[in-house]
Amino acid sequence: MPSRPAPLVGVTGGIGSGKSAVCLCFGRLGRAVMSADQIARDLTETDAGVRRAIMEKFGAGIYGPDGRLRRSELARIVFARPARLRALNAIVHPFVFSSLNEALLRLPASGSRPYVVVEAALIFESGMDKNLDATVVVNAPEEIRIDRVARRDNLPRDEIIARIRAQMSPREISRRGDFVVENTGAEEDLIERVKFIDRLLTLMFAAGRT
C-alpha cells in the first residue's frame, strides 16, 4: 500500500474476537472503515487472476459448478496445513493490498479524517502493519470465541479450534498491537472502550500534523 492519503489504523484479532463489532463502533463514530477481509472475499469470486491462481494451487474443483468458491472446503484444506494457508495468503494478499490502496485513494477528503480504519484478520502475518500508523487488537477468551463462531458459522468445535490454532497466538498479537480491546462484556462497554481509543488516536494524529 504505497499511497497513504490519511493515517491508517488497523483493527485485527483472532477468529471470533469481535473485530467487526469494534469496526462497527468506529463507524458509528464517523470513521471510514474498510475491510481487507471483505476485499479478499470479493477478489476470490470476481478477479480472474486470483481465481486462476487458486485453481492452479488447489485444483479446479475448488470452485463449484456455479463458479463460486467452495469456501468451507478451502478452509478445511488450508487450516489443516500451515504451508497451504501461507500459499493461499501469498496468492491473495498482493491483490488485496492493491485494491485497498485504490479504495483509499477514492475516499473523499472529508471521509479520511482524522484517520481511516482497516479491518484485517492477518495484519501482522501479512506484513500490513508496516504500512499502518497504529493497530488495535481485539481479544476475547478462547471459549467465548469458540461459542461466537459456532453460533455465527455453524461449525463444529474441532474445526473452530483448528482455525484458532492456525492463527497467531492472542499473547503474541496483543504484544504487537498499539491498543488492545477486551471484547468480553456488554455492547455498551465495548462502545466506551472504542470511544476512548478514538479520542487517543484523534489527539495522536492531530499532534502529528502540528
Tell me the per-residue pLDDT of 153-203, one tens digit each, with 9 for 90 and over: 998 999 999 999 988 999 999 999 999 999 997 888 999 999 999 999 999
Between CA 70 and CA 77 the distance in angstroms is: 11
Residue for grid cell 484485517: 120
**Domain locations in the chain as residue ranges:** 8-203
pLDDT in tens, 131-143: 899 999 999 999 9
Write down the pLDDT at residue 208: 65
pLDDT at 111 over 80: no
C-alpha dist (Å) from residue 94 to 10, 43, 88, 101, 156: 17, 11, 11, 11, 31
3-state secondary structure of 72: helix
Superfamily of domain 8-203, CATH level 4? P-loop containing nucleotide triphosphate hydrolases (3.40.50.300)
Between CA 164 and CA 142 the distance in angstroms is: 9
C-alpha dist (Å) from residue 32 to 36, 113, 119, 126: 13, 8, 11, 22
Q: Report the pLDDT averaged over residues 1-16.
A: 81
> Percentage of residues in the chain with pLDDT exceeding 70?
94
